[in-house]
Amino acid sequence: MARARASAAMRIDHAQVDGRRIRFGVRPGDPSRLPLLLLNGLGANIELMQPFVDALPACTIVMFDVPGVGGSPTPSSPYRVGSVARLAERLLDQLGIGNADVLGVSWGGVIAQEFALRNPVRCRRLVLAATATGALMVPGHPAALVKMITPRRYLDREHSRRVAGEIYGGDFRRDDKLHEHTMRHIRFESRSGYYMQLAAAFGWTSVPWLWMLRQPTLIMAGEDDPIVPPVNAQIMAWLIPDSRVAMLDCGHLFLITRPDASGRHVDDFLREPRAREGAQSGRRRQPSRTTKP
Kindly give the confidence (pLDDT) of every residue in the chain, 293 residues in length, as a single tens digit, with 9 standing for 90 and above. Answer: 344 444 479 999 999 999 999 999 999 999 999 999 999 999 999 999 999 999 999 999 999 999 999 999 999 999 999 999 999 999 999 999 999 999 999 999 999 999 999 999 999 999 999 999 999 999 999 999 999 999 998 888 889 889 999 999 999 998 878 888 887 788 888 999 999 999 999 999 999 999 999 999 999 999 999 999 999 999 999 999 999 999 999 999 999 999 999 999 999 999 998 644 443 433 444 455 544 43
As a whole-number percent, the residues of the chain with pLDDT over 70 amount to 91
pLDDT of the residue at 2: 40
Q: How much is the pTM?
A: 0.91
pLDDT number for residue 186: 85
Residue 113 near residue 39, CB atoms below 8 Å: no
150 vs 58: CA distance, rounded Å: 37
Over residues 268-287, the pLDDT tens digits come to 999 998 644 443 433 444 45
Give residue limits of the domains in the chain: 11-290
What's the chain look like in SS3?
CCCCCCCCCCEEEEEEECCEEEEEEEECCCCCCCCEEEECCCCCCHHHHHHHHHCCCCCCEEEECCCCCCCCCCCCCCCCHHHHHHHHHHHHHHCCCCCEEEEEECHHHHHHHHHHHHCCCCEEEEEEECCCCECCCCCCCHHHHHHHCCCHHHHCHHHHHHHHHHHHCHHHHCCHHHHHHHHCCCCCCCHHHHHHHHHHCCCCECCCCHHHCCCCEEEEEECCCCCCCCHHHHHHHHHCCCEEEEEECCCCCHHHHCHHHHHHHHHHHHHCCHHHHHHCCCCCCCCEEECCC
Amino acid at 21: R
On average, the pLDDT of the chain sits at: 91
Q: What is the predicted pLDDT for the residue at 257?
A: 95
Q: Do 138 and 75 touch, CB atoms closer than 8 A?
A: no
Task: Specify the pLDDT at position 278.
Answer: 42
pLDDT digits (tens, 9 = 90+) for 216-246: 999 999 999 999 999 999 999 999 999 999 9
Active site residue 262: no
Classified by CATH at the fold level, domain 11-290 comes out as Rossmann fold (3.40.50)
Q: Quote the pLDDT of residue 289.
A: 53
The conformation of residue 211, written as its DSSP 8-state character, comes to G
End-to-end CA, the chain: 9
Find the catalytic residue in 72, 106, 160, 206.
106
